[in-house]
């Protein structure tokens, strides 16, 4: 928010000086006084315009180049971390069987890949933490916790390989090591990554609210200051016309015209900048934030499905958190998973009546291609839930557990991958709208830091040049 301060009242000495000047009864004295007032008004108009344009520039910087992109960066970090743990769970579930899904080796390879992604992101701590000491501390403690996670994960993997079990829950010791690892991830590392994303979202929202309204309010100030200047210029024009019996002073007329153009241009600029900010936030950022949260939580829920098979003693909890997370992604009123599957099918087919991240997205379709990308995402989400229903049904049927694991590591894994891909495609549409709006905003501001002072100085010079010949008549 830009505070508009009331200037302190002038000290008596200055006031006396101004009074003396104004009191000058002579014609040139009066002309000088009005010319001086015009130059003051030019300075005032320049100042309010400068501040309004700076508000737009600050808004674009924070939203477009700082906190906005950080949302994507921290979202990617969350995904890498969450997927590490998902891959670990999958490897432990597969046991010694090599032909499940894309295979144990492939899952381990993805695990390593995600791990180096996460490390890279965390080591670039300053990049992530925007020079904020508290956030840097967070990044460091995440790195420490990740180190502890990897220790348990490594032990679990080693022991699991030694014990060489068929697909299904590994031995008690491995499960306990895995629980310790996943607890660190779930309770320590992931919350910090997710909260960083939310923090950046808060920064963007607050910056938008203050800067967008400041830019709009700036238009009013520019208009007011501009009108004052025009009135003074017209008064000067009229004064000269009356006292020197000339119809028009062409140089002053040009100054007045230039002022009108400058007011129009500045107000036009501020209007379009406010629009770019609004588009960047409304069509781009808001959806990018909520869809990257949806992706983070989807990945985590998908891993909960694997963990449900991995550890029968915690299966109830994993099932409950799966439902909880699913309802966060797409909310339909449902008391248990059975009802949830049915409701998702019914409401998605109908195209309305659902909330959550995907529900909000469905209520705000504004961009070309968004509707198609969204309906493809929703279809894929239904597929993921069908798989989930199948896995849970099989795993509780006597003798069905192995088939459940085959489904989980095979078809379900592919279906989830394609849902994730479609979610990414949908997000990219908003990302593009965001980047475009920011670029338009940046382009619109190009050159104004030079144009504004140049125009102001030019108008002031025109005023002085306009009155100079009249003043010289008195020499």
Partner 1 sequence: MRVGRIGAGLALAVALAGCGTAGASGQSIADKDTLTIGVSKDQPGLGLRKPDGTFAGFDIDVARYLGAHLEKKPKKVDFKVVQYSDRESSVQTGKVDLVISSYSITPERKTKVAFAGPYYVAHQDTLVRTSDAGIHNVRDLAGRRLCAVNGSVSWQRVTKERGVHASLVQAATYGDCLTKLTSNALDAISTDDLILAGFAAQKGRSVRFVNAPISDERYGVGIAQGDVTGCEDINKAITEMYLDGTATKLLKKWFGATGLNLTTTVPQFEGCG
Which range of residues in 56-64, 187-195, 259-267, 395-403 is near partner 1 by CB under 8 A? 187-195
CB of 460 to partner 1, least distance (A): 26
176 is a contact residue toward partner 1 (CB under 8 A): no
**Which range touches partner 1 (CB under 8 A), out of 41-49, 241-249, 333-341, 362-370?**
333-341
CA-to-CA separations, 473 to 23, 460, 466, in angstroms, rounded: 21, 21, 13
| Whole-number Å distance between alpha carbons of 374 and 378 | 6
Cα–Cα distance, 219 to 159 (Å, whole number): 68
Residue 98 interacts with partner 1 (CB under 8 A)? no
Piece of 189-197, 345-353, 410-418, 452-460 that binds partner 1 (CB under 8 A)? 189-197
Site string for partner 1, 140-159 (x = CB under 8 A): -----x--------------
Q: Does 164 bind partner 1 (CB under 8 A)?
A: no
Q: Mark the segment that binds partner 1 (CB under 8 A) among 37-45, 57-65, 183-191, 238-246.
A: 183-191
Joined together, the tokens standing for residue 379 give 């279809």
The one segment of 62-70, 259-267, 318-326, 429-437 that binds partner 1 by CB under 8 A? 318-326
Tell me if 188 contacts partner 1 by CB under 8 A: yes
Minimum distance from residue 374 beta carbon to partner 1 (Å): 20
Verify binding: residue 313, partner 1, rule CB under 8 A: yes
CB of 202 to partner 1, least distance (A): 5
- Give min distance, CB of 205 to partner 1, in A: 7
**Among residues 324 and 443, whose Cβ is nearest to partner 1?**
324
Site for partner 1 in 215-254 (CB under 8 A): 217
- What is the closest distance, in whole angstroms, from the C-beta atom of residue 370 to partner 1 in the complex? 21
CB of 150 to partner 1, least distance (A): 17
Among 9, 98, 131, 164, binds partner 1 (CB under 8 A): 9
441 binds partner 1 (CB under 8 A): no
Cβ closest to partner 1, residue 173 vs residue 324: 324
Beta carbon of residue 267, minimum distance to partner 1 (angstroms, whole number): 17
Answer yes or no whether residue 1 interacts with partner 1 by CB under 8 A. yes
The least CB distance from residue 191 to partner 1, in Å, is: 4
For position 134 contacting partner 1 by CB under 8 A, the verdict is yes
Report the alpha-carbon distance of residue 444 to residue 272 in Å, rounded. 8
The set of residues, in sequence order, having a beta carbon less than 8 Å from that of 123 and lying 6+ positions away, is 143
Q: Does 133 bind partner 1 (CB under 8 A)?
A: no
Q: Which of 99, 116, 195, 397 contacts partner 1 by CB under 8 A?
A: 195
Q: What is the 3-state secondary structure (H, E, C) of the chain?
A: CCCCCCCCCCCHHHHHHHHHHHHCCCHHHHHHHHHHHHHHHHHHHHHHHHHHHHHHHHHHHHHHHHHHHHHHHHHHHHHHHHHHHHHHHHHHHHCCCCCCCCCHHHHHHHHHHHHHHHHHHHHCHHHHHCCCHHHHHHHHHHHHHHHHHHHHHHHHHHHHHHHCCCCCCCCHHHHHHHHHHHHHHHHHHHHHHHHHHHHHHHHHHHHHHHHHHHHHHHHHHHHHHHHHHHHHHHHHHHHHHHHHCCCCCHHHHHHHHHHHHHHHHHHHHHHHHHHHHHHHHHHHHHHHHHHHHHHHHHHHHHHHHHHHHHCHHHHHHHHHHHHHHHHHHCECCCCCHHHHHHHHHHHHHHCCCCEHHHHHHHCCCCCCCHHHHHHHHHHHHHHHHHHHHHHHHHHHCCCCHHHHHHHHHCHHHHHHHHHHHHHHHHHHHHHHHHHHHHHHHHHHHCCHHHHHHHHHHHHHHHHHHHHHHHHHCCC
By CB under 8 A, tell whether 328 contacts partner 1. yes
Token pair recorded at residue 386: 């069908």
Supply the minimum distance, in Å, between the C-beta of residue 138 and partner 1. Answer: 9
434 near partner 1, rule: CB under 8 A: no
CB of 376 to partner 1, least distance (A): 24
Tokens of 268: 């036009």
Q: Which span sits near partner 1 by CB under 8 A: 249-257, 328-336, 343-351, 409-417?
A: 328-336
- Residues near partner 1, by CB under 8 A: 1, 3-4, 6, 9, 134, 137, 145, 187-188, 190-192, 194-195, 198, 201-202, 205-206, 209-210, 213-214, 217, 293, 313-314, 316-317, 319-321, 323-324, 327-328, 331, 333, 335-337, 355-356
């Amino acid at each position: 928010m830009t505070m508009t301060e009331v200037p302190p009242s002038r000290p008596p000495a200055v006031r006396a000086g101004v009074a003396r000047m104004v009191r000058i009864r002579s014609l040139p004295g009066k002309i000088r006084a009005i010319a001086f007032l015009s130059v003051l008004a030019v300075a005032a108009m320049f100042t309010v315009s400068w501040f309004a344009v700076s508000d737009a520039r600050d808004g674009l910087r924070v939203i477009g180049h700082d906190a906005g992109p950080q949302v994507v960066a921290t979202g990617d970090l969350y995904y890498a971390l969450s997927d590490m743990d998902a891959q670990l769970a999958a490897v432990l579930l597969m046991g010694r069987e090599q032909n499940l899904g894309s295979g144990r080796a492939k899952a381990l390879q993805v695990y390593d890949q995600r791990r180096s992604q996460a490390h890279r992101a965390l080591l670039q701590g300053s990049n992530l933490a925007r020079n904020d000491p508290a956030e840097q501390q967070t990044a460091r403690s995440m790195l420490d916790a990740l180190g502890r996670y990897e220790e348990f994960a490594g032990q679990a993997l080693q022991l699991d390989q030694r014990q060489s079990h068929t697909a299904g829950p590994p031995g008690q010791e491995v499960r306990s090591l895995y629980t310790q690892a996943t607890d660190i991830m779930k309770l320590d590392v992931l919350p910090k990554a997710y909260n960083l994303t939310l923090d950046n979202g808060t920064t963007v929202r607050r910056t938008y609210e203050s800067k967008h309204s400041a830019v709009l309010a700036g238009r009013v100030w520019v208009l007011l200051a501009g009108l004052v200047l025009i009135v003074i210029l017209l008064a000067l024009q009229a004064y000269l016309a009356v006292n020197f019996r000339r119809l028009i002073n062409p140089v002053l007329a040009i100054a007045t015209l230039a002022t009108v153009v400058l007011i129009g241009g500045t107000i036009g600029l501020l209007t379009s900048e406010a629009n770019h900010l609004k588009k960047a936030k409304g069509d781009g950022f808001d959806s990018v934030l909520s869809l990257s949260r949806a992706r983070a939580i989807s990945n985590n829920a998908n891993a909960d499905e694997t963990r449900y098979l991995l550890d029968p003693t915690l299966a109830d909890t994993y099932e409950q958190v799966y439902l909880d997370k699913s309802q966060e992604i797409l909310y339909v009123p449902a008391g248990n998973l059975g009802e949830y599957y049915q409701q998702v099918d019914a409401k998605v087919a109908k195209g309305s009546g659902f909330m959550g991240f995907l529900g909000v997205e469905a209520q705000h379709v504004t961009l070309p291609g968004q509707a198609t990308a969204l309906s493809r995402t929703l279809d894929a989400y239904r597929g993921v839930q069908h798989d989930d229903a199948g896995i849970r049904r099989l795993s509780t049927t006597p003798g069905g557990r192995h088939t459940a694991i085959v489904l989980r590591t095979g078809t379900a894994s592919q279906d989830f991958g394609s849902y994730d891909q479609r979610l990414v495609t949908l997000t990219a549409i908003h990302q593009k709208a965001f980047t475009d709006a920011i670029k338009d905003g940046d382009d619109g501001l190009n050159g104004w830091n030079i144009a504004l002072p140049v125009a102001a100085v030019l108008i002031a010079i025109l005023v002085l040049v306009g009155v100079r010949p009249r003043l010289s008549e008195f020499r």
